[in-house]
Structure 1
Amino acid sequence: MHLPSLAVGLTIMVGGTVYPLMMAKASGHADHGLATLLFWAMSAGFIRGVGFVPHHRTWRWIFSGWACAVALAAAAVARWAA
């Protein structure tokens, strides 16, 4: 298990459930770019967090702990840059 990644995945899941407007623009419309980045971070967090490591190199990178951190950082930049 990789607890930091799992914590990120769980936090995004709970945060998106409790406050779905965190994935919306100021106008109230869905921000699909931000949602994509958050869902990537959440997915990578869950997959790496439970200890699963894909065999194929591409999938291993896409769902790694580093990819989780990169997607989360990109989501933060996308959220506060606009």
Structure 2
Amino acid sequence: MPRVADAPAPSRLHPLSLLIAVAIMLVCTLYPPLMVAPDGKADHGLAMALFTAMSVAFVRGVGFVPRARAWRWLFSGWTCFASLAVAGWVKFLH
């Protein structure tokens, strides 16, 4: 049987990514003051970085790997790490 070059790899769960996504979801849901700026208003930059990391981690965590290279890069662990780093940097600045 000939092998198809674009055949997707079998999907498998990524427990660490899934754990990160669930942790971000629970922390942001149970403790929303985490995403408040010092002036008492919502910190939209921090929220965007955290929710981007959460979304990427959920997609990666359930084992979905897109075929297109750009989407694969966007939903990679590196993007999740970069988003978490941005969130930490934004929180540190406040």
Range of TM-score over shorter length: over 0.9
Task: Pick from 51, 58, 63 the counterpart of residue 39 of structure 1.
Answer: 51
The 3-state SS of whatever aligns with 2:90 is helix
Q: Deviation per CA, 1:1-42, whole angstroms, max 9, x where unpaired?
A: 111111111011000110011111012211111111001100
Alignment of 1:60-75 (within 5 A): 60-75=72-87
Alignment of 1:1-82 (within 5 A): 1-82=13-94
Larger Rg: 2
Larger relative helix fraction = 1
The 3-state SS of whatever aligns with 1:26 is coil
Task: State TM-score, norm by structure 2.
Answer: 0.81
* RMSD of equivalent CA atoms: 1.0
Unaligned ranges ≥5, structure 2: 1-12
Count of residue correspondences: 82
Q: What is the CA–CA distance in structure 1 between the aligned matches of 2:83 and 2:91, rounded to whole Å?
A: 12
